[in-house]
């Protein structure tokens, strides 16, 4: 004899084997799968039992799994499937993924024999409404289904969803969602990326006298024995986390959980009545469900329209003149249907759509993925990304659905789903490519979009936004096997990622300021020719940012630039808000200087720098350039006082002291438009007067005048002679960097 309990035990073992594989506990998975095989071997001795065919199909599946676990257990489930099994716990309840055993048999076809104990939360309306739980016998059938209604529980979205599905003639599909075994029921819902099953008791909360004519659960006003929808509702409330203390949803999300049809919510303010007519035509063909929501609405307007604010209705009739709505709640008059003049359509807030994708499309694929919080609001690397390619010579329409998994969070973490066109692989920044769809913040669990792909085109789908670790499922539907959907790959295999900041001493501002050369700088050494190199700079604050790349001579390696020489620029772009990026092609070997800057020199904030390339592994290296002039730095200033020469005595404590001198005009930072006297400087031996460095050229560079020299003698005086082209007033700032300690003493030379 093959008892239902025996089959249920086998299914449980197979499910546990899946769970252990997801946890990478392969020995336990193989052991419990072996138990299933052993149990089935005993059951298969009863060939004349009515349940024998079911045992045979389970046996084929279990043996196949046992074999795979013995050969390569790590390859039995891909990461997407593992995530589905690892996300089975939802608000403390175990929602096991439905397993397809083949030949039309699934785990949902095997009745449950035990129930997971769980507390069902009841609402605290008031003292006069108290409940007691009673086991019910759910009579099958659809008699009275069109009269389902809500009562005490404010779950208009769920009841409207049941009615909308029945409107399409799919009541039998709903009945398949629940299977009973005495006091235990098994319910299937689409949640967390797949169809899942939950074992619940058949107890329902009944209101005690004197209000026994009121109901906490969905019921039929014409058939009191139609109770199986209430068992689906009970499982649904468990999934929502609040039990009968329901906090709200919407029709689109609820129909997705019931049928697996992807949800779409449209704002009616952005629609026309004609577009509603188009949806009605699709609804009549069974391709979409239609619901409408009042949203936030004034009491006066709601009274005028005879609707309830924050309420969902089924659209069950449409003409150019009027809409016919079905109310999930039965009022005192008992009237369920409401005729609304088409001219007031714009006063409603939401249109709820669920698409029958199995009829609309021929092919589908799905993935589940972890979305980790990003350190940057604008950097898309690290976000889940998918390549979408149309290899056809013709346009192709696709449907894309994204669902954020439920776990124990009280609210959905806002996210966005963006599609970028002509993108090859992973997208780095949202400004990198043209956005073909998306660009909106989504605050519901699931969303759906239709997209028309151009012939021979490439797109990238990006999920971004969550600031906490979340799981998502992504599904794609198409009508051509030449539409490919896969995880996106970064087209630059080698990446340098740097986090740094602009502070009070290292934000030089834009290139027209004297302080520009004090901006953070990196030396890029290209050792082998690189076909493509991508450089990106991002800042989460509202700042205009830019970077410049210049050729540098080998002799000036790791030395801060002293001028902004446009002739050495590889390219010249304008500053852009928060993000700046550029792709270079065919970069030849050599040394380059990368300078990152904010337009505003007073801005302080963090930035992220990316340098990526598609060359050999060690073809490109980065090294930060020291900001200081030397290991030791001193600074002073003097006033010209209508003279044109100033002498500074330099004394080094060690021999062979390399010195860099920088002269700047004025007390305040200079700009290109500022007046600056031309200056020059030379270095002489203080004793012999022999020249160490002679400079005959006058220079009025906004970035300063530089002199390099070597003081070879220790404890010896050298003279730095600073000259001005013409006499005058003003301040001269002197900065000196050296390889060892240096003392200075200045004096004006009298004529």
Enzyme catalytic residues: 156, 311, 327
The answer to whether the CB of 523 falls within 8 A of the CB of 591 is yes
CA distances, 639 to each of 307, 334, 356, 579, 677 (Å) = 82, 95, 82, 43, 13
Q: Which residue stretches of 516-599 are H helix?
A: none
Query: Around Cβ 318, how many Cβ atoms within 10 Å?
Result: 20
CB 488 within 8 A of CB 425: yes
Backbone phi, psi, residue 153, to 5°: -80, 125
- Looking at residue 360, the DSSP 8-state letter turns out to be H
DSSP, residue by residue, 105-143: EEGGGS--------PPP-----TT--EEEEE-----S-T
- In degrees, rounded to 5, the angle at the alpha carbon of residue 443 between the alpha carbons of residues 440 and 448 is 65
Q: Counting runs of H as helices and runs of E as strands, what totals does the chain give?
A: 11, 45
How far is Cα 574 from Cα 533, in angstroms, rounded to an integer? Answer: 19
Among 729, 730, 732, 731, smallest CA distance to 720 is for: 732
Task: Say whether 709 sits in a helix, a strand or coil.
Answer: strand
What span, in angstroms and rounded, lies between the C-alpha atoms of 409 and 471? Answer: 12
Distance of alpha carbon 677 from alpha carbon 698, whole angstroms: 9
In this structure, are residues 290 and 164 in contact, taking their beta carbons and an 8 Å threshold? yes
CA 505, distance to chain mean position in Å, is: 35
Concatenate the DSSP letters of all residues of 275-328 into one string. HHHHHHHHHHTTSEEEEEE--S--HHHHHHHT--TT-EEEEEEE-SSEEEEE-S
Taking CA atoms, 301 is separated from 137, 295, 305, 312, 736, in Å, by 43, 12, 6, 16, 76
Bridge partners (DSSP) of residue 545 are: 576, 598
Alpha carbons within 13 angstroms on the beta-carbon side of residue 583 total 12
Number of other CB atoms surrounding residue 513 within 10 Å: 22
**What's the distance, Cα to Cα, between the start and end of the chain in Å?**
122
Instruction: Tell me the β-bridge partners of 711.
Output: 657
Look at the alpha carbons of 566, 572, 574, 575 in this order and tell me if their dihedral is positive or negative.
negative
Is the dihedral angle over the CA atoms 75, 79, 84, 89 positive or is it negative? positive
CB contact at 8 A, 337 and 325: yes
Q: Quote the strand ranges of 81-231, DSSP E.
A: 89-90, 93-94, 96-97, 100-102, 105-106, 131-135, 148-149, 178-181, 184-191, 194-201, 203-207, 219-220
Write the DSSP symbol of residue 555.
Answer: G
CA dist., res. 675 & res. 726, Å (int): 13
- Note the residue count of the chain: 751
CB-based contact 633:735 (threshold 8 Å): yes
CB distance 482 to 428 below 8 Å = no
CA-to-CA distance for 184 and 198, rounded, in angstroms?
A: 10
């Amino acid at each position: 004899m093959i008892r239902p309990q025996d089959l249920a035990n086998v299914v449980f073992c197979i499910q546990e084997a899946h769970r252990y594989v997801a946890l990478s506990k392969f020995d336990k998975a193989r052991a419990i799968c072996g138990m299933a095989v052993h149990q089935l071997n005993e059951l298969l001795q009863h060939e004349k039992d009515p349940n024998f065919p079911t045992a045979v199909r389970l046996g084929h599946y279990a043996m196949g799994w046992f074999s795979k676990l013995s050969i390569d257990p790590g390859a039995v489930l891909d990461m997407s499937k593992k995530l589905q099994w690892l996300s089975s716990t939802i608000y403390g309840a175990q929602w096991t993924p439905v397993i397809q055993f083949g030949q039309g048999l699934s785990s949902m076809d095997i009745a449950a024999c035990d129930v997971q104990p769980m507390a069902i939360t009841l609402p605290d309306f008031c003292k006069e409404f108290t409940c007691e739980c009673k086991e019910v016998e759910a009579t099958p059938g659809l008699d009275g289904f069109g009269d389902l209604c809500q009562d005490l529980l404010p779950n208009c979205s769920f009841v409207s969803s049941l009615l909308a599905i029945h409107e399409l003639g799919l009541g039998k599909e709903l009945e398949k969602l629940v299977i009973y075994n005495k006091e235990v029921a098994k319910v299937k819902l689409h949640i967390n990326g797949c169809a899942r099953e939950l074992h619940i008791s058949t107890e329902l909360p009944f209101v005690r006298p004197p209000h026994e004519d009121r109901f906490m659960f969905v019921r039929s006003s014409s058939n009191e024995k139609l109770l199986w929808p209430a068992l689906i509702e009970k499982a649904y409330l468990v999934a929502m986390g609040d039990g009968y203390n329901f906090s709200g949803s919407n029709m689109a999300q609820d129909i997705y959980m019931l049928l697996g049809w992807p949800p779409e919510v449209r704002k009616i303010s952005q629609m026309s009545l004609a577009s509603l007519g188009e949806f009605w035509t699709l609804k009549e063909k069974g391709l979409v469900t239609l619901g409408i929501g009042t949203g936030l609405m004034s009491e006066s307007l709601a009274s005028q329209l005879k609707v309830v604010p924050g309420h969902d209705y089924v659209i069950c009739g449409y003409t150019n003149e009027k809409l016919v709505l079905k109310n999930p709640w039965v009022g005192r008059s008992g009237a369920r249907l409401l005729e609304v003049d088409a001219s007031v359509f714009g006063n409603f807030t939401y249109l709820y759509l669920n698409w029958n994708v199995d009829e609309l499309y021929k092919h589908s694929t799905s993935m589940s993925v972890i979305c980790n919080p990003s350190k940057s609001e604008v950097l898309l690397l690290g976000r889940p990304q998918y390549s979408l390619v149309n290899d056809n010579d013709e346009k192709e329409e696709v449907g894309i659905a994204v669902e954020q998994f439920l776990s124990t969070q009280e609210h959905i973490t806002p996210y966005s789903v963006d599609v970028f066109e002509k993108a090859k692989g992973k997208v780095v920044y949202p400004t990198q490519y043209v956005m073909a769809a998306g660009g909106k913040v989504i605050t519901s669990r699931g969303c759906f979009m239709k997209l028309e792909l151009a012939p021979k085109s490439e797109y990238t789908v990006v999920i971004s936004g969550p600031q906490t670790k979340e799981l998502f499922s992504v599904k794609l539907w198409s009508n051509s096997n030449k539409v490919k959907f896969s995880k996106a790959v970064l087209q630059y295999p080698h990446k340098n990622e740097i986090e740094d900041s602009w502070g009070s001493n290292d934000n030089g501002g834009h290139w027209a300021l004297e302080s520009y050369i004090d901006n953070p700088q990196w030396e890029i050494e290209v050792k082998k020719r690189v076909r493509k190199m991508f450089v990106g700079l991002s800042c989460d604050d509202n700042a205009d940012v830019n970077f410049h790349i210049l050729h540098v001579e080998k002799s000036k390696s790791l030395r801060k630039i002293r001028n902004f020489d446009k002739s050495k620029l590889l390219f010249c772009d304008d500053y852009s808000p928060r993000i700046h990026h550029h792709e270079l092609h065919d970069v030849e070997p050599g040394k380059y200087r990368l300078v990152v800057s904010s337009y505003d020199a007073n801005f302080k904030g963090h930035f992220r720098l990316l340098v990526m390339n598609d060359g050999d592994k060690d073809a490109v290296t980065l090294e930060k350039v020291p900001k200081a002039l030397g290991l030791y730095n001193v600074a002073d200033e003097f006033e010209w006082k209508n003279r044109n020469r100033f002498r500074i005595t330099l004394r080094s404590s060690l021999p062979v002291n390399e010195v860099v001198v920088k002269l700047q005009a004025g007390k305040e930072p200079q700009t290109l438009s500022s007046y600056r006297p031309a200056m020059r400087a030379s270095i002489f031996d203080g004793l012999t007067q022999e020249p160490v460095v002679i400079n005959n050229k006058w220079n009025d560079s906004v970035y300063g005048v530089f002199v390099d020299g070597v003081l070879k003698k220790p404890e010896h005086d050298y003279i730095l002679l600073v000259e001005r082209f013409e006499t005058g007033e003003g301040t001269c700032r002197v900065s000196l960097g050296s390889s060892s300690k240096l003392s200075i003493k200045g004096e004006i030379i009298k004529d």
